Amino acid sequence: MEWVYAALAGYLFGSLPFAYWFGVLQNKNLLAEGSGNVGGTNAWRVLGPVPGLMVMTLDVTKGLMAVALGEFLVRDPAGGLLGGALAVLGHCYSVWLLGHGGKGIAPALGALFAINPWLLATAGGAFGLAYLLTRNPYRSVVLAALAFPVASSAVGGSLSYLWFGFGVAVPILLKHLGEWNRTPGQLHPGREPRNGRK
């Protein structure tokens, strides 16, 4: 049962929609403004730099805490892998927002750092290499996510790290695949300019 508790704790902790709640405090709905994304970048864009930075920090912390909780509940480092992966899933598909959520990058950064900083360095290197090849941040995220399960397994040296890699990569891929053809500065797909502005 401790594995179930670790999974639930990771998911529920990851699903806390800090960006949405910060928006409510300013009478703004981040699901309907800016990119419609409930994450730190859209919070920065719609609410301002201070709330945006606070949201980013809290979202990264969700990943850190989910790993710590998972490892504590299972009494095994593999519990941290499970908790971290489920935190990314919860952030992307929050129960509090009926399945809406962010794109998973911030909690993934926290989880990777908590588990093994080399995982974070590897993911950053994959993104950097992809960006050099494509000059497009959206495609770079997709390509880095595709490579992450193998990279995670190579760093961790076990099958549990491979599954962790898939657990982190799949929600991020699902959230970013629709932006494959998007270019920096382009209006988010499916959204209309507000007040005549892009």
Residue-by-residue pLDDT tens, the chain, 198 positions: 899 999 999 999 999 999 999 999 999 999 999 888 899 999 999 999 999 999 999 999 999 999 999 999 999 999 999 999 999 999 999 999 999 999 999 999 999 999 999 999 999 999 999 999 999 999 999 999 999 999 999 999 999 999 999 999 999 999 988 877 777 665 555 554 444 443
DSSP classification of residue 191: -
Condensed to tens digits (0 to 9), the pLDDT of residues 48-72 reads 999 999 999 999 999 999 999 999 9
Report CA dihedral (98, 102, 105, 111) to the nearest 10 degrees: -40
The DSSP secondary structure of 82-150, one letter per residue, reads: HHHHHHHHHHHS-GGGTT----SHHHHHHHHHHH-HHHHHHHHHHHHHHHHHH--HHHHHHHHHHHHHH
Condensed to tens digits (0 to 9), the pLDDT of residues 122-135 reads 999 999 999 999 99
